[in-house]
Amino acid sequence: AQSVTQLGSHVSVSEGALVLLRCNYSSSVPPYLFWYVQYPNQGLQLLLKYTSAATLVKGINDFEAEFKKSETSFHLTKPSAHMSDAAEYFCAVRGAAGNKLTFGGGTRVLVKP
Amino acid sequence: EAQVTQNPRYLITVTGKKLTVTCSQNMNHEYMSWYRQDPGLGLRQIYYSMNVEVTDKGDVPEGYKVSRKEKRNFPLILESPSPNQTSLYFCASSLSSGTGAYGYTFGSGTRLTVV
Most confident of A35-49, B69-83, B93-107: B69-83
β-pairing, A101-103 vs A87-94, is antiparallel
Query: B37-42, long-range: CB within 8 Å, 24+ apart, which pairs?
Result: B37/B87, B37/B88, B37/B89, B37/B90, B37/B109, B38/B87, B38/B88, B40/A9, B40/A105, B41/A105, B42/A90, B42/A103, B42/A104, B42/A105, B42/A106
Of A43, A90, A98, the CB nearest to B100: A98
The dihedral built from the CA positions of residue B96, B37, A50 and A23, taken in this order, carries a sign that is negative
Say yes or no to pLDDT of B43 above 60: yes
Q: State residue B101's pLDDT score.
A: 72
What values do phi and psi take at B5, rounded to 5? -115, 125
Query: Regarding predicted confidence, which is higher, A80 or A53?
Result: A80
Q: State residue A1's pLDDT score.
A: 75
A28 in reach of chain B (CB within 8 A): no
Neighbours of B58 (CB within 10 A): 17
B96 in reach of chain A (CB within 8 A): yes
pLDDT tier, B100 (very low <50, low <70, confident <90, very high otherwise): low
Q: State residue A98's pLDDT score.
A: 59
Report chain B's mean pLDDT, rounded to a whole number.
Answer: 93
Q: Which DSSP symbol is given to B108?
A: -
A5-58 pLDDT, tens digit each: 999 999 999 999 999 999 999 877 778 899 999 998 888 999 999 887 788 999
Identify the residue among A45, A49, A89, A101 best suited for mutation to test binding to B, counting B beta carbons within 10 A and taking the highest. Answer: A101
Say yes or no to pLDDT of B15 above 70: yes
Residues paired with A14 in a beta bridge: A112
